Structures are given as C-alpha cells and as structure tokens.
Structure 1
Amino acid sequence: MYITITAQKLGDNYARSSANFVSYLEKENEGRIIEEQEQFFNQFGEEIKADEVIREIDSNTAKLKRNEPRFYSITVNPSKRELNQLQNHSKDLKTYTNELMIAYAESFNREINGQKVTVNDIKFYAKIEHSRTYKGTDKAVKENQPYATKILELKQQIKSIKNGMVEGNIKSLNRKIAKLEREAPYQINGKRIVRGMAKEGSQTHIHIIVSRKDISNKYSLSPGSKHKASEVNMHGKQVKRGFNRDAFFKKSEEIFDKQLNYNRNYVETYTARKTFIKNPEKYFASLMGLPTSQKALAFKLLGKSGMPVPPMNIPVNKAQLAYKVFKQLKRTLDRGIQSSSIGI
C-alpha cells in the first residue's frame, strides 16, 4: 500500500476551481455507458456526479487566501498482492475508503466546537480507477527512450526523402525502425512501451479529493501541516493544530488488513519503507530476523518489485554490510515511491 497526500498546487497560485482536477478523474468514464462508469462517493452516499463535486469543493473555501490550497488530493495505491485479496475491487475499496477517512479525521490534532474532529467534519469525494498509463518518469519509458530517439530520427529521414529534400532508401530505414522496435527492452504484447500506454495487469487505485475547509466551511483542516501535535495562541485562545501522517499511514494498513484478512509482510509496511530510507542497516537486520517463511516471502516480494536482492544470508553486522548494495536499493525504492509503482 502506498498513499500520497498532495496539495492542489498548480503554478504560482492555487486555481480557484477544482474543475480541472475533477475532469482528470473523470477520464476513465469517457465513452462508457452509465452502468460501466465509476461515480464519486463519500461517507454520505454514492453515485455522486462530477458537477456536484466541483460545486461543493469550490463553494467550501471561505476566507482562504490565493496562496492557500482549496483542496488536497489523496491517492491510495494498493499493491498487486493486496489487490489479489479483494473479492470485488470497487465494493471492497469503497468500504475501505470510508474507513480510511475515519482514520484521516482522527489524525488531526484539532477540535471543532470543543470536540475532536471526526469524519463527518470532513468534506471529501472519492473515486475508484482501474487503469494507469506509463509516465515519462517510469523506468520502462526512460530505458526505452534511446530507442525512441533513434526511431524518431529515422522517421524524420524518411520524411525528408519523401519530400525530396535528400536521397535515401526508405525500405532500409523502415527495416532499421522495425529492428529498434523489437530491441527496445520493455514491451507489452510485442509493442514498445511509450508514455501514455496503458499499464498491464490490475491497476485499481483510489483518488480522494478533500476540501481544505471542514464541512461547515468555518475551520481549516490541513494535512500538510508540519506539526504532528502542538498548540498555538490565536486571538487569545489556545488552538490545537497538526496532522500525524505516520499514524495515518500505519492505520491505513491496519484497516486494510483487518477488513480483508490480509497477512502483511514486513517489507510491505510503511514502517519498513521508512526504516529502509533512514536506516538501511536496521532495515536489513529486521529483515534477516524474520521467521524463515516470512523472510522467504519478503525476498520474493522484493524480487518481484524489481529491487536488487542481496543473498538471504547477508550478515547483519553493520561493518560487514555492503554500502554499494544499500545505495542501489535506496535509489530503486526512491524511484518506486516517486512513481507510486512499488509492486509490493
């Protein structure tokens, strides 16, 4: 499970409307009949139309400045192994999302009218998507790029020949293009992977748009706060503030595991990913200390994710750990996090 929370930011200032973002989330519904479309939902109901989402988010921005986000985007990316645990992708993930947003509300160190923030104070709309496309930052696209560049050069040569600008053998150039297409290292069904191509396999994930203001349009609730929990004096009153991301991410896993009876391996946890980044020696010490069956599964999952896997008998003594291996592993994990495509 990989979850991101990002502000609305686009350019130097924040757009006054959520229309562009909501339109982006509607892309999968294009060309589909109503029965096949995924609609927005929240804690109060389902089958919510896009125009209602835009209207509700855009009108819930009282006293927000131009340089303050109107909403936040939460993206929930279950791994392939987690998706395999679902009986019904849409139904199960809708149930999970509503439970997740309860945890989201609980992660605020805030009070509204003397009461701790609850999910019913949060104005959000969620949507299930079932496909993804390759981005320019994906490994497959980046490593196919040298082939794409050469193919483009050859196609430009062919165009110049057809326009009579130069002389050349078009058939020979087409053969070279076909050869490069076959040699590109990343393919789907015999076709070179390029930016915008649909990714293979199950790609179901969740998008959530959350208003910056609470449902009453009076209180600001920012998950982007730098504080986990603190108090500040505002207008002569002590006001609690902060959002505990660590608690939210951990709770997100607990909810999924309980709801779907999922047996989460150590390497799939938020705690493990955070430990890996901050203290790789401790990460591998924990990994090597797992029971035999769990350790074997951990190494299998790491291998499927595309991460280089050290021998299972790697020494845990800090002085003996291979620094180059850790640097390579960390770079790989960082890339996976940035593209939200860690396959474990």
Structure 2
Amino acid sequence: MYVSITAQSLGGNYSSSSADFVAYLEKENQDLEPENREFFFNQYNDEITPEEVVREIDANTAKLEKKEPRFYSITLNPSARELNRIQDSRNDLKTYTREVMKDYVASFNREINGRPVNIDDIKYYAKIEHHRSFKGTDKQVRENQPYASKILKCKVELQKVKRGEIDGNISKLENKIMQLEKEAPHHQNGQRIVQGMPKEGQQNHVHIIVSRKDSSNRFSLSPGSKYKASQVQLNGKMVKRGFDRDSFFDRAEKTFDTCFGYHRNFVETYNARKEFIQNPKTYFSLLLKLPTNEKMLAMKILKQSGMPIMPNIPTSHAQIALKVFNRLRRGVDIAVKSSSIGI
C-alpha cells in the first residue's frame, strides 16, 4: 500500500480554489453516462457532486494566509496483490478509505475544545479512480528510455531524409526503428511502454481532498507540520501541535490488513521501505533472515515493483555493506517517490 500526502500547489498556474484539482479528479467521468460515473464520497455520504466539493472546500479557509495550502491531497494506492485480496471491490475501497481517515485524525497531536481530534472534525471528500498511467519514475519507462532516445534520433533523421535535407536510406532507417522497438525490454500488448501509457490490469486507487481547516472552520489541521508531537504556548495557554506521518502510514497498512485479513510481506511494509532508504544494509540483512517462502515472495514482489535490487542477494554482512552502498544509492530517490515518505 503506497500512501502519500501532498500539499495543495499554489502560485504559477494554480488557483487558490480547489476547482482545478477537483476537475482533474473528474477526468475519468468524461464521456461516461451518469449511471457509470464515480461520485465523490465522505465519511457518511455517497454521490457527492464535484460542485459541492469545490463549494465546501473553498468556503472552509478562514484566516489562512495567501501562501498557505487550502487543502491536502491524500492518495491510497493498493498494490496488485492487495487489490486481488479485496477482489477490486468498489465498496471495500470505500470502507477502507473511511477507516483510514480515522487513522488520519488519530495521527494529529491536537485537541479541539479539550478533546482529541475526531473524524467529525475534518472535512474531506474522496473519489475512486480505475486507471493509472506509467510515470517517468516507473522501472519500465526508465529501462526503455535509452531505446526511446535512439528511436527519436532515428525518426528525426528519417524526416530529414524524406524532406531531402540530408542523404540517407529511408528503408534502412525504418528497419532500424522497428528493430529498436522490438529490443526495448518492456512492452504491453505489443507496444513499447512509454510515459503516459495506461497500465493494464486492476488499477483502482483513491484520491482524497481534505481541508486544511477543521469542519468548524476555526482550527488549522496540517498534516504537513514538521512536528510529530510537541507543545507551544499560544496566548498564554499551552497548545498541542504536530502530525505523526510515520504513525499514519503504518496505521493505514495495519487497517487494510485487519479489514481484509491480508498477510503483508516484509517488503510491503512502510517500515521496511523506510529502512531501505535510511539504512539499506539493515534492510537486506532483515530480508535475508526471512523464512524461505517469505524471502522468495519478497524477491518476487520487489522484482514486480521495480524496487532496486541486486542480481544476487549477498550472503554476508560485508557483501551487503559494499554492494548496497555502491550499487543501490542511485535507486534511493525512486524508492522515496514510490513509498511517498514525507510530505
């Protein structure tokens, strides 16, 4: 389960309104009949219109500075194995989302009127999407890129030959392009995988837009806080502050496992992905200690996910230290993005 939290973008071409983001989330509804469209939902209601979402989020911004985010975006991205466990059920994803938002409020170190933040204190709207496209950070796109560059070069040369700008053999260039297309390591339905190509198979995931302000429009609840848990004096009174992102990501996984009876492999856990980024040596040491069947499953999952791994798992701690730091460092940025660690 890959969970991410992203602040609303401000400045440039972005408006301080949520309208642009809500319109983006409506992209899959274009050209669909009303009965086939996905509506927004929240903790208690289904079939919420995009107009209501924009109206409610935009009206809930009292006393926010111009450069402060009006809302945050949370994404819940189940893996293929997780989707298979819930049979890709729309209702199951809604149930899970509603439970995750309870985990979200539980991760705030805040009090409202002398009590902990609860689910009724937040204003959020969620939407299920059924399609995903390959990104530039995906393993398939990255490993196809050298071939894409050569193909582009050949196509540019081919056009120049056809226009008579340079001499060349048109048939030879066309054959070279066809050969490069075949040699690219990753294909889908006979086509070379490129950035933006829709992914096949089950791709259901959830986008959530949550207001920066609480539902009363009085208190600021920021998951982007740099504090996990602290207290500060405000107007002569000690006030709690902070949001524990580690706790939220960990809770979100455990909630899925509890809801659907899912057995999570070591490499699927947030804590393992975090360990890979912060201490690869320890990560592979723990991987090696897994029972044989769990280790085999772990390697299969890593290969499918595109997580950087070594051709041969090292057998000693010395080999781990040497190989991990020399050969895996380039994969750290990709791992950070895929596991959505941080804000």
What residue in structure 2 maps to residue 265 of structure 1?
265
Name 1:301's counterpart in structure 2: 301
Write the deviation string for residues 116-139 of structure 1: whole angstroms up to 9, x where unpaired: 100111111111111111223333
Map 1:186-201 onto structure 2 (within 5 A): 186-201=186-201
State how far apart, in whole Å, the 2-side matches of 1:204 and 1:333 are: 26
SS in 1 for 2:202: coil
Shift of 1:250: 1.2
Contact preservation (8 Å) 2:285, 2:320: no
Asked if 2 retains the 8 angstrom alpha-carbon contact of 1:13 and 1:66, the reply is: no
Amino acid of the structure 1 residue aligned with 2:77: N
Structure 1 residues 173 and 288, CA gap change in structure 2 (3 angstroms): closer
Q: Which residue of 2 aligns with 1:325?
A: 324
Report what 1:222 is aligned to. Answer: 222
Q: Residue 101 of structure 2 contacts residue 119 of structure 2 at CA under 8 Å; is this kept in 1?
A: yes
The one-letter code of the counterpart of 1:295 is K
Q: Distance in 2 between matches of 1:41 and 1:324?
A: 47
CA contact (8 A) 2:277 2:336 kept: no
State the one-letter code of the partner of 1:85: R
Partner of 2:116: 116
- Once residues 303 and 172 of structure 1 are traced to their aligned partners in structure 2, the CA distance between those partners, rounded to angstroms, is 36
Counterpart CA distance in 1 for 2:9 and 2:320 is: 41
In 1, the alpha carbon distance for the partners of 2:265 and 2:62 equals 44
Deviations 1:200-231 (A, max 9, x none): 22221111111000011110000001111111
Matches of 1:64 and 1:276, distance apart in 2: 37
Residues 14 and 66, structure 1, Cα contact 8 Å, conserved in 2: no
Is 1:60 matched with 2:60?
yes
**Structure-1 separation of matches of 2:184 and 2:283:** 35
Cα gap change, 1:296 to 1:134, in 2 (>3 Å):
closer
Residue in structure 1 matched with residue 132 of structure 2 by the alignment: 132
| Post-superposition CA distance 1:130-152 (Å, at most 9, x none) | 11112233332233233333333
2:71–2:211 contact (8 Å) kept in structure 1:
yes
Distance 1:299 1:138 in 2: 18
CA contact (8 A) 2:5 2:75 kept: yes
| Distance in structure 2 (CA, Å) of the matches to 1:301 and 1:142 | 18
Residue 39 of structure 1 aligns to which amino acid in structure 2?
F
Counterpart for residue 337 of structure 2: 338
Secondary structure at the aligned position of 1:42 is classed as coil
Equivalents in 1 of 2:233, 2:57: separation in Å? 29
- In the TM superposition, 1:79-90 aligns within 5 A as 79-90=79-90
Q: Which residue of 2 aligns with 1:289?
A: 289
Structure 1 residues 221 and 143: CA distance shift in structure 2, 3 A: same
Question: Helix, strand or coil: the match of 2:47?
Answer: strand
The share of aligned pairs that are identical, in percent, is 59
Quote how far apart the aligned CAs of 1:172 are: 3.4
Normalised by the size of structure 1, how large is the TM-score?
A: 0.90
> Which residue type is aligned with residue 240 of structure 1?
K
- Can you list the C-alpha shifts for 1:237-277, whole angstroms capped at 9, x where unaligned? 21110001111111111110111000111221111112222
Residue 297 (structure 1) shift:
2.5
The Cα offsets for residues 127-180 of structure 1, whole Å up to 9 and x where unpaired, read as: 111111122333322332333333333333443444454454433332232222
Structure 2 unaligned regions, length at least 5: none
* Post-superposition offset of 1:324: 1.8
Once the two structures are TM-superposed, the CA of residue 98 in structure 1 deviates from its matched residue by: 0.2
Which has the higher mean CA deviation after the structures are superposed, 321-330 or 172-181? 321-330
Residue matched to 2:16: 16
Match of 1:69 in 2: 69
Contact 1:69 1:212 in 2 (8 A): yes
Residues of 2 paired with 1:324 and 1:312: CA distance?
A: 10
What is the distance in 1 between the residues matched to 2:275 and 2:163? 59
Change (3 A) 1:59 1:143: same
Indicate the RMSD between aligned Cα atoms, in angstroms.
Answer: 2.4
Cα displacement (A) at 1:115: 1.6
- Looking at structure 2, the residues matched to 269 and 285 of structure 1 have their Cα atoms a distance apart, in angstroms, of 16
Secondary structure in 1 aligned to 2:23? helix
Instruction: Report if aligned partners of 2:273, 2:335 keep a CA contact under 8 Å in 1.
Output: no
Change in 2 beyond 3 A, CA 1:278/1:166:
closer
Q: Aligned in 2, Cα 1:36/1:328: closer, same or farther, shift over 3 Å? A: farther
In the TM superposition, residue 329 of structure 1 has moved relative to its aligned partner by 4.1
Write the letter of the residue equivalent to 1:37: R
Gaps of 5+ in 1: none
Query: Counterpart of 1:135 in 2: which secondary structure?
Result: coil
Cα contact 1:71–1:211 (8 A) shared by 2: yes
8 Å contact 2:43–2:98 — kept in the other structure?
A: yes
Cα distance between partner residues in 2 of 1:239 and 1:208: 28
What is the number of equivalent residue pairs in this alignment? 339
Structure 1 residues 237 and 18, CA, compared in 2 at 3 Å: closer, same or farther?
Answer: same
Q: Which moved more, 1:263-272 or 1:147-156?
A: 147-156
Say if 2:245 is the partner of 1:241: no
Structure-2 separation of matches of 1:180 and 1:300 = 28
